[in-house]
Each structure stands twice: as structure tokens, then as C-alpha cells.
Amino acid sequence: MKGKFAYLFLGVIIVIALVIRLFSVVAPKKNAIPENKVVPLVTVIPTSTPAAIEPNTSQIIIQNPQPGMIVTSPLELSGEARGNWFFEASLPVKLLDENGQTIASVPASAKSDWQTDNLVPFSATLEFTTTSTSGYLLITKDNPSGLPENDASMRISVRFK
């Protein structure tokens, strides 16, 4: 009888552990960052005024394109991002239309050592065709871990010619 009770007790413990594990995976975390979080520490500056940036606080700085700018293919993207936005010296860039449909997608390449906490220059060239009149550029922090707390992105609205 003692043996059956021990097996029953062990089975109940295993079921309880599995239920706890399931709820810890499925339940949203209290401080979880929502997907497609737009980073508040973003600076978009005109290329003619580089002194206007605050390099110690910005996570990403975009020189080109400027918000609302009319863009054509090929679109030359340039800017700087903190090293932790990169993985293997690249970060994802997408050009989307006003409906959120991807028009072009490329990795932007770091132009210097990306394994730093400092700003790292990057660039990308997006070739595209579209009939849309507006859209946005989505620059995303590369997140190989897949953890939501490591997600970050920024949008720049653009118009198409």
C-alpha cells in the first residue's frame, strides 16, 4: 500500500509542476514589452545639422531618409545605432506600404565595430517598386534571442513618387 501511495503522491507532484510551468510560459509577463515597441530614444536629424543630436542618449539616429520625405528606388538608408541593435554586424530594415505590406526587406550593415555600447554607423540600399503613395521604413533591433524584452524598432514615414 505504501508503494502505491508513493507513486500517487509523485504523480500529483509532477502534474502540479507541469501546470505551474504551463502557466509561467503562457501567462503574459507583468513588465513585458509589447511586440513592435517603438523606441522612445530615437533621433532623426537633418543631414545638415549633425550637431543637433545628443549622442549619449539616442539609441538610433537616422540621417536619411527624413520623415515625410519623398523616396524613390534605390533608397539609400544611413544612420547610427547603438551596438546592441546589431547582431553579426547587421540589423533588419523593411520598407512597408501604408497597409503594412512589405515592399522591400534588407539587412543594414554596420560600417565599423558593432560590439560596443557606442553609436555605430550603418547603411542599407533598398530597391523597390510600388503603386502606393505612402508608407514607412521600419528599422528593427536585431533580436536573435526572440525575447520580447529585447525587441525595439522605429518607424520613419515616407512618401513614394
How far is C-alpha 103 from the geometric centre of its chain's CA atoms? 17
Contact indicator for 53, 61 with CB cutoff of 8 Å: yes
pLDDT at residue 23, as a whole number: 63
pLDDT at residue 79, as a whole number: 94
| Cell (9 digits) for 40 | 522612445
Contact indicator for 83, 120 with CB cutoff of 8 Å: yes
| Cell (9 digits) for 99 | 497597409
Beta strands in 12-87 (DSSP E): 42-44, 60-64, 69-71, 75-82
What is the average per-residue pLDDT within 129-153? 92
What is the average per-residue pLDDT within 65-92? 93
Q: Kindly report whether the global pTM for this prediction surpasses the value 0.95.
A: no
pLDDT at residue 42, as a whole number: 45
pLDDT at residue 141, as a whole number: 92
* Residue 161 pLDDT exceeds 90: no
Contact indicator for 71, 78 with CB cutoff of 8 Å: no
